[in-house]
Structure 1
Amino acid sequence: MKNKKIKTILNFVLTIIIAAIFVACSTEKDGENEKQDSVKNNKFGGTIVVAQKMTPPHLDSDKSTDWAISSIMNHIYEGLFEFDANFEPQPYLAESYEIEENGKVYTIKLRRGVLFHNGKEMTSEDVKFSFNRWLKNNDAGNMIAPYFDKLEITGPYELKFVFKRAYAPFISILGSHVSNQKLVIRPKELIEKYGDNVMREHIGTGPYKFIKWIPDQEVRLEKFVDYVPSDKPVSGLAGKRIAYADKIIIKSVSEQATRIAGVQTGEFQFAEEVPQDQYKILVDDPNVEPVIVKPDGMEMLIINCGIPPFNNIYARRALVAAIDMEELGRTMIGNENFWSVDGCIYPKGTVWYEENSGAGVYNNYDLQKAKDLLKKSGYDGTPIVIVSGQDNKVEKYGAIALKEQLEKAGFNIKIELFDRPTVVERRSKKEGWNLHLSYFYMTCPDPQVEGAWTGTNAWISNWDDDDSRAMDKIFERMMIETDKKKRFEIVKEFYDKTWETLPYIKTVEYSRMHIANNSLKGYANFCQPFFWNTWIKKK
């Protein structure tokens, strides 16, 4: 019995040993398979070459609104906040924030352990120096400055931003991804070196380091191996960033044909802004993937409200009733993949979208109503001048289409075509023009920003009457309301007032087209190209 028991134990032990050997062999084999799969599907390495349409004047985002700068420097510099795909600012270099004293004080805590490209850890001192430079030099900083009081460092990773009065859009503007408005964080020493002068060196916290800029040719970036990413979910510009490519080279290539050919041959992995009329050809090319940017922009009909006839509300209402938006889209842009109609100036699916915006006014073509309103306005037949760019296909065709539609309602229309600098110069004056089609990005960070071109005498509209002052009051209330739900109700008042008083008219939503070589994977279709979380498929 004793021998039998020993034999049973030995058999059990032997079974365990055999099983362990089998598991070890299987694990080793699985590990080898995983290793082989990892090598086979490795996303890391290589160089992403991008063909950019414009060449930047310099690379200092505080000193220019040029988008060619931010599309490059977003890889190098990061903000306290970055916008997600729903256009909500999310903490990035910031860990969290609190709004106190009824919207007058913002306490921002920083992520710890974030490194600059020179190996130094980011602290409150760097944020303070970056903010003070931004406040003085950046257009967004200039917008905030009249309301701002002081900045207090309350710890190595904590700051208090104190305002003279409540300022609700602060976080949105800090993270703004348009026109280089974003506050990006640079090391204190770099700011001390350059002060208010244009920076020629660039040290950030981003996934790529600045290596070299050859003006009018290219910018070279290299992976930052000690990068400390956010651990938040990926969405738009927010969330975790991984630098898969070893290098990114961004070339200045003004010729459309060269950008297209380069992507087709694989010389470029990505090219921005190619003509939409090439879509049918490119979509059938196995080497190319068209990227239709959505959401993107809108064609806005800017109205000179300071002179007759459009200083009269009935003339402006006649104008909107006379426009068939869908016919305008077909004539101005053509391919319906690149335009759509919607009355809200913010894109569908974003936090500021309101589906009823413009109801009963937008895209409500009624020729007889337009004629009746025009008669009521007292319009005397004086020629109405549409100022448009002769080198911009959309503006030019849009002006021609508008002329045809408005003349049916009784307007006397004259088109004047100029080069871009002349258009800008003409529309800056109060006299000599009435209408102008202009491309606006829909990805604006906050409705408060719209006040810069919507209220009394704002931007180029020359709008100054009881309605403009009523609009000013809406923006005043919007500025101080920090409760998001209550603030959105005020934003809807702004939408309603816009469609009631018509200081400008949104026409159609409009998308640009980029193209990517089929070797580029993981590209996120956002309003501005970026190439972290993006890799080159190995052959």
Structure 2
Amino acid sequence: MFDRRTLMKGAAATLVAAPALAQDWRASTMRFIPQANLSSLDPIWTTATVTNNHGYYVYDTLYAADMAFKAQPQMAEGHEVLDNGLRWRIKLRAGLKFHDGETVRSQDCIASIMRWTQRDSFGQLVGRVIDSTQVVDDRTFDIKLKRPFPLLLDALGKPDTPAFIMPERHAKTEATKQVTEMVGSGPYRFVAGEYNSGSRVVYEKFDGYVPRSEPASRGAGGKVAYFPRIEWHILPDPSTAANAIIRGEMDWWERPPADLQPLLARSRDITREVTDPSGRVAIMRLNHLQAPFNNPKVRAAVRMAAIQEDYMRATQGDDTSAWQVCRNLWPKGTPYYSGEQDDLMPQSIDKAKAALQASGYNGEKVVIINPTDFPDIGPLGQVTADILKRVGLNVELAETDWGTVIQRRGSREPVDKGGWSIFHTTGPAPGWGTPATSLLVRGQGARGWFGWWDSPKAEALTEEWLYAPDEAGQQKAARELGRLALEEVATVPLGQFTLRTAYRKTLTGMPHGSAPYPWSVRRA
């Protein structure tokens, strides 16, 4: 089994095979090592975190969540709520421009919102209540609703997959197809001619962007871009990445693996910091459309076998201050966490074996698609492969790069035709903390997230939560929903952890929040 602790030896010895770098790039360029390769560019088409991070460079949002998760105006100058909550009138700030020089118009915003409502789980709830939209003028538009929806602004500005605004011609792309031309109105523009998937991504400051006057706070406030140029360098080998930042060839490493944190801590030139104390959650997602996981009894056997301590130690190391178990689909620290559900997750190979034997499992192959270039995710798949083989499942571990995993998980075909059975990923605890925002508990079937759990009862509980008359009603609906989703194995939770980012002490103004935002940071 893959042992990440061997990276310590490699990190101490490996030198970056690159010539000495000239110093003049430092004045104008920040060099950043992202968590994974950017293989998909459209942040509405995919939920991949690295693509969401890219989206914050290129696009802007009408509203954005601040550090208290309160929706604040961003592209919007403000709004009115009319007709007893059935009509929202949103007005844009003056002077908003796209990177191609065109003015941002109401038509662009409407088309972007409507495409987002077809892909995003919270967006789909919004889409259900939209009756119509109307352009009032180039800077003002109305959203008319079938019933009041008080959380509209929270939905539009949520931290993960918000309603990024793009030109109308791009927003009218079919929601199941990717937008490939990157034109936004954000603080940085995408340099298409220098994009090389698997190697480098380049952004240049957009001089036409006018930041808000408020201080930056998560995705809200003044997005002041200090660097004329930002380069993402894809360095899948952690040893190479560690030496690159230690030697000053890179400025910022988004997600150093746990086993290399002590090495980075010994460098006087590097700061290590938890930029989002709310943390992240690791999960296993099963394909409900194909055998064997179209059988709920087989899914239950997998849930029983998941030993969270094994997953957390494999990805986050032995420092238990950096991670914790969470046998609940509502993360710890979020409003609806209600304690450990040990009866559903006994963490027992023996109980899982007995459940599998009684399930009617016929030996169908279980294909785990798993990345080799993502230290927070790759070991999760390797632990699962080991555990499920011990339980008695016919397991194949299909290891590729993360970009291929992202592409393949969209397939609904059987495994012998390029499909899949299991993938793993991580996500922000707050983003998975309510029925409206969590992909993990929604039973939307073919319209939902990869895995396609179909549960009309789950959707009814989501609606019950959304329109509950009081907090007690919301608590009741949310807890029933979380329990149902774990019982039917919509998702298997694998633990909760925090991340320390690492950057050279020559940087200051490091932004905090749900993503490695490109604004505020500058040379000290």
Please report the TM-score for the alignment, with normalisation by the length of structure 1: 0.70
Contact 1:108–1:160 under 8 Å retained in 2 = yes
User: Which AA in structure 2 matches 1:339?
Assistant: W
Measure the CA separation in 1 of the matches of 2:251 and 2:201. Answer: 15
Which of 309, 317, 321 is the equivalent residue of 1:334?
317
- Residue 427 of structure 2 corresponds to 441
Contact 1:521–1:536 under 8 Å retained in 2 = yes
Which of 390, 399, 402 is the equivalent residue of 1:419?
399
- Listed as ranges, the matches of 1:497-516 within 5 Å are 497-510=484-497, 514-516=501-503
Contact 1:72–1:250 under 8 Å retained in 2 = no
Contact 1:304–1:430 under 8 Å retained in 2 = no
1:383–1:234 Cα change, 3 Å: same
Task: Confirm or deny that 1:276 pairs with 2:258.
Answer: yes
Task: Confirm or deny that 1:470 pairs with 2:450.
Answer: no
Which of 373, 394, 398 is the equivalent residue of 2:383?
398
Measure the CA separation in 2 of the matches of 1:366 and 1:469. Answer: 30
Q: The residue matched to 1:242 in structure 2 has which SS?
A: coil
Measure the CA separation in 1 of the matches of 2:112 and 2:134. Answer: 15
* Deviation by residue 1:364-383 (Cα, 9 ceiling, x = unmatched): 54678x379739x8345754
- Residue 19 of structure 2 corresponds to none
Contact 1:385–1:434 under 8 Å retained in 2 = no
Q: The residue matched to 2:382 in structure 1 has which SS?
A: helix
Gaps of 5+ in 2: 1-25, 373-377
Which of 345, 351, 368 is the equivalent residue of 1:388?
368
Give the RMSD, CA atoms, in angstroms.
4.4
Q: Report how many aligned residue pairs link the two structures.
A: 471
User: What is the CA-CA distance between 1:534 and the residue it aligns to?
Assistant: 1.5
Name the larger-Rg structure: 1
User: Which AA in structure 2 matches 1:277?
Assistant: D
Which of 222, 231, 234 is the equivalent residue of 1:250?
231
User: What is the CA-CA distance between 1:520 and the residue it aligns to?
Assistant: 1.4
1:489–1:430 Cα change, 3 Å: farther
- Residue 412 of structure 2 corresponds to 428
User: What is the CA-CA distance between 1:79 and the residue it aligns to?
Assistant: 0.8
Contact 1:130–1:191 under 8 Å retained in 2 = yes
* Deviation by residue 1:328-351 (Cα, 9 ceiling, x = unmatched): 4324553335532124545544xx
Task: Confirm or deny that 1:527 pairs with 2:514.
Answer: yes
- Residue 202 of structure 2 corresponds to 219
Gaps of 5+ in 1: 1-43
Contact 1:520–1:536 under 8 Å retained in 2 = yes
Q: The residue matched to 2:223 in structure 1 has which SS?
A: coil
- Listed as ranges, the matches of 1:317-328 within 5 Å are 319-328=302-311
1:199–1:413 Cα change, 3 Å: closer
1:383–1:330 Cα change, 3 Å: farther
* Deviation by residue 1:134-157 (Cα, 9 ceiling, x = unmatched): 524785478455653322244665
User: What is the CA-CA distance between 1:81 and the residue it aligns to?
Assistant: 0.9
User: Which AA in structure 2 matches 1:251?
Assistant: W
Q: The residue matched to 2:61 in structure 1 has which SS?
A: coil
Measure the CA separation in 1 of the matches of 2:184 and 2:412. Answer: 38
Measure the CA separation in 2 of the matches of 1:60 and 1:327. Answer: 34
Measure the CA separation in 1 of the matches of 2:48 and 2:439. Answer: 21
Measure the CA separation in 2 of the matches of 1:114 and 1:485. Answer: 42
Query: Normalized per residue, which structure has more helix?
Result: 1
Q: The residue matched to 2:313 in structure 1 has which SS?
A: helix
User: Which AA in structure 1 matches 2:194?
Assistant: I
User: Which AA in structure 1 matches 2:143?
Assistant: F
Measure the CA separation in 1 of the matches of 2:181 and 2:359. Answer: 55
1:134–1:198 Cα change, 3 Å: same
Contact 1:49–1:249 under 8 Å retained in 2 = yes
Identity %: 18
